[in-house]
Amino acid sequence: MNINEYNNLQEKENNSQIAIDFDGVVHRNSKGFHDGTVYDEPIPGAIEAIKELSKTYTLVLFTAKAKPDRPLVNGKTGKELIWEWLDKHNISSYIKEITSEKPRAIAYIDDRGFRFENWTDTLNFLNSIK
């Protein structure tokens, strides 16, 4: 891929994708990592939101469960477990990919995110949650 092709891909993804954190945003994740499985129900409204967003955007899920160094659970990778969960809830067709990396996107939906405006506010926020 040459630099122009790369720039075109980057611009397209930056303007057409939404990145959504899986645990705590789509999957309830009430027990945290627990035993590594994808054990919980969807967050209320998540399925409907995914369906609605997919009408306009390409959706990418990001999650630590997809890290390649994560141990297998019942012989399956985290990605495989998530795809099964998405199939169970009839929403796998709305998701382009699952990644452990931060994908290019127009927006990131994350339960642990902080919207950066400036470093003073950021440091104040981080000091407030200690």
- Residue 1: the pLDDT is 87
Q: How confident is the model at residue 86 (pLDDT cuts 50, 70, 90)?
A: very high
Q: pLDDT at position 130, please? A: 81
Beta pairing, strands 17-21 & 95-99: unpaired
Is 89 within 8 Å of 47 (Cβ atoms)? Answer: yes
24 neighbors 30 (Cβ within 8 angstroms):
no
CATH architecture type of domain 3-128: 3-Layer(aba) Sandwich (3.40)
pLDDT for 12: 84
Whole-angstrom distance, CA of residue 125 vs CA of residue 98: 30
> Which pLDDT belongs to residue 10?
85
With a cut of 90, say whether residue 25 has pLDDT above it.
yes
Of the ranges 7-11, 40-44, 64-68, 96-100, which one carries the lowest mean pLDDT score?
A: 7-11
* Predicted pLDDT of residue 99: 98
Pick the more confident residue, 14 or 79. 79
Q: Above pLDDT 90, what percent of the chain?
A: 88
Round the average pLDDT of the chain to a whole number and report it.
95
